[in-house]
Amino acid sequence: MEQHVEQPSKGPQSQFETGHNPPVQHMKQPGLQSQMGDPKPTSTQVPTEDSGYQTYKAAGKLTGKRAVITGGDSGIGRAIAILFAMEGASSLLVHLPEEESDAVETKKRVQNAGQNCYSMAADLRSKANCQKVVDTAMQCLGGIDILINNAAYQNMVDDIRDLDDDQWIKTFDTNIHPYFYLSKYALPHMKRGSTIINCASINAYIGRPDLLDYTSTKGAIVSFTRGLSNQQIGNGIRVNCICPGPVWTPLIPSTMTSSAMEQLHAVPMGRPGQPSEIATCFVFLASTDSSYISGQSLHPNGGVVVNG
């Protein structure tokens, strides 16, 4: 895995908490968390008001639950898997074959938290693979209580005239079609009280111009979430989505230009988020703490005010 770091890191507290730019790094897609330079993304350490960090404090909110997490090898997916495990949930992690090394590390961390964890390499652009994910979850976990649709692809292109047709199709085949198929195949196995949580993006609301295809799929995810919620709420199944702002994950150095990375601090809080800060939102929506919430979008984005 190739990596190039254009400026030295000063560590998470001085680099992120004071609003300075994160280091500009570049990796080949899809990017591995193990190859990222400092500051490392945090999966269990949550930033505090005094610019320090504290370990996430679990309270048994997901005891006995069984979760399927796509893109579960690194970044937000890894943080979700670990916090879910700390809260008592077992999981099946779905990842690309080239992300195997990150998936092994995530699986180890989930097991260290005392929960069962299984991993599966699959390209979810195939609806047959989506069915295999559900079949594997039923075989390994014995059921599905939580479906986390999180895996995504992006590649920056400034102008629609330069946006390759194949990239447009790949982005939709990766970012929205698997959400449909996984939900369709999982729902017959999900009982009242189960939840589906989709990962959208702030870009669906701000209309980011250099990620036109990605932004379009994230808008589709918001609408898919609202429609599916209205369809399934009578069955006692809640469907919500989360729309993160800039977050320090492998997706950033593997897909964004140097100038784009330099703007990661351009939110009111002055820093990109950590995966752990997004994963806490998934815990909330997966637990009974959010029992009266469905069809909604949460916006952990560093203070940006969005409409909708």
Q: Which of the residues are catalytic?
A: 214
What phi, psi does 46 have (nearest 5°)?
A: -105, 125
Measuring CA to CA, which residue among 158, 152, 162, 159 is closest to residue 252?
152
Do residues 7 and 237 lie in contact, with contact meaning Cβ atoms separated by under 8 Å?
Answer: no
Measuring CA to CA, which residue among 120, 126, 147, 151 is closest to residue 228?
147
Which residues lie closer than 8 Å to 28 by C-beta, 6 or more apart? 1, 2, 254
Please tell me the distance from the alpha carbon of residue 16 to that of residue 10, in angstroms, as a whole number.
9
Q: Hey, CA dihedral for 293, 222, 246, 39, is it positive or negative?
A: positive
Question: How many Cβ atoms sit within 10 Å of the Cβ of residue 127?
Answer: 16
DSSP H helices in 145-250? 165-175, 177-186, 203-206, 212-232
Tell me which residue has tokens 């009974």. Answer: 288
Chain centre to alpha carbon of residue 149: 8
Tell me the three state secondary structure of residue 95. Answer: strand
- Which tokens go with 195? 């939840």
DSSP 8-state secondary structure symbol assigned to residue 284: H
